[in-house]
Amino acid sequence: MKWSRPSALLLSALLQLAPLCRGLAPEAASLASPWTVVMRWIVGSIAVNGAFHAVSGATGLTVTQGTGPGVSPKGTNGLVLSGYRVQVTSADYGTAKAYVFTGLPAGLKGSLQGVVTGTPTETGTFTVRVTGYEKSPPSGHNFTANISLPIADQNPVIVRPPAGRTVAVGSPVTFDVAAEGTSLKYRWLKDDIELAKATNETYTVASATSASAGSYKVRVSNAAGVVISASAVLTVTAAGPTLLVSPTAKTVHEGEPTSFQVTAEGSAPLTYQWSKDGVPLPGATAATLLLAKVSASDAGDYSVAVTGPSGTTTARPVKLTVAPPLAIALVSLSEVQTTLTFGSIAGRNYVVEATDTLGTGAWTSVLAVTAAGPSTIFNDARGSSPFRYWRVRTEAEPP
């Protein structure tokens, strides 16, 4: 029989495979997936012509994870992982002097010294490829292994439970919860019964009814555990009186009288309480609030609360603005006319009257005007009398 002579390259490849078979038994005792490593070496040895020596000469490969004190071979999503060390040792080349990591979960990084640190931001069991190098910086022979790195969820913790609420019929109401943890899931319950589609941090009742009243809680969960909040009680009261006419904002001169009115309907008896700047006014318990003579200190925000057997309805606050008192001032004087001015309120009607003799009651109108702004200027022709007097009055304020 004629034997063919193998090529030098084929002979070299066969010789290089021998250590792999020799190293298979110890690897099985130290690696979770030894066949992955062995297959990597075989494929690399055959496919990379002239480069297989770098990965085929290591035997007795061992991998050690989490050798630092107090470190377990896992991490928790959102919590810092520190001191987690990986060591790859070969019977031929000893413990690797430099490491390169591939496939670490987001948020983690591996150092050249084989230490994994960081804050993982995803959950699962990750297969990480660790390549150990004979020399540092990464050079010389290298040997590759796969390690399993599980990242668990944080246990859910409720930081702020939902709070109880009291609302009137027809009002919206929202419950919310603040929780810490990762990959959190929410489920709201009413009277210990799950609510359909209530799977967010908040739960809203768009328009409360008597059937909405009850005890609300939320269940927060992830792969690490489950926690249930304390109950929040929703109380739904009957609707308060209806406001048919609400108070309106006012601007008046100092010294004028003014009033605010409200008209409400609802089950009797109805009571009223007026407030200024949020403070109840003593004795202001009628449907009309009368200010007989306004002063500068009366300026502010006024509101009224109307209460009946079914509840209380509060009108939105309205502002009272106090302008300076009515007064006429001289602007200029000439041979033919006198120019005067007075403080005014835009939209109010004013009448200016004049007389040459005080005490006779014979006042003559010289101007009737609707003010356009905070001051009004007018002219009056000079007569033959050496004296002239003027006065200004305003019509009643608009309702």
Whole-structure pTM over 0.75, yes or no? no
| Same domain as 68, residue 89 | yes
Average pLDDT on 271-297 reads: 97
Does residue 2 lie in a domain region? no
Final residue before a domain boundary, out of 277, 292, 323: 323
Which single residue is written with the structure tokens 């109108």?
Answer: 365
Specify the number of domains making up the chain: 4
Q: Which residues contact 78 (CB under 8 A, 6 or more apart)?
A: 119, 120, 121, 154, 181, 182
CA separation, residue 296 to residues 11, 250, 292 (Å): 109, 13, 13
pLDDT tens, 107-166? 999 999 999 888 888 888 899 999 999 999 999 999 888 888 888 888 899 999 999 999
| Same domain as 197, residue 305 | no
Is residue 374 scored above 70 in pLDDT? Answer: yes
Closest residue by Cα to residue 353 from 367, 340, 343, 339? 367
Cis peptide before 137 (omega within 30 of 0): yes
Q: What is the pLDDT of residue 235?
A: 94
Closest residue by Cα to residue 250 from 242, 241, 259? 259
Final residue before a domain boundary, out of 237, 272, 292: 237
Using DSSP, state whether 39 is helix, strand or coil: helix
| Same domain as 220, residue 247 | no
**Strand duo 81-90 + 94-95: pairing:** antiparallel
- Tell me the residue type at 321: T
* Token duo for residue 291: 């200010």
| Same domain as 313, residue 271 | yes
Q: What is the pLDDT of residue 11?
A: 33
Does residue 399 lie in a domain region? no
Final residue before a domain boundary, out of 152, 174, 204: 152
Question: Is the torsion defined by CA of 23, 25, 26, 30 positive or negative?
Answer: positive
When mean pLDDT is compared over 11-25, 38-52, 116-130, 284-298, the highest value belongs to: 284-298
| Domain at 191, CATH number | 2.60.40.10
pLDDT band at 67 (very low <50, low <70, confident <90, very high): low
Does residue 1 lie in a domain region? no
CA separation, residue 22 to residues 9, 17, 92 (Å): 21, 9, 12
* Domain that includes residue 348, residue range: 328-394
| Same domain as 162, residue 142 | no
- As a whole number of angstroms, the distance between CA 22 and CA 62 comes to 14
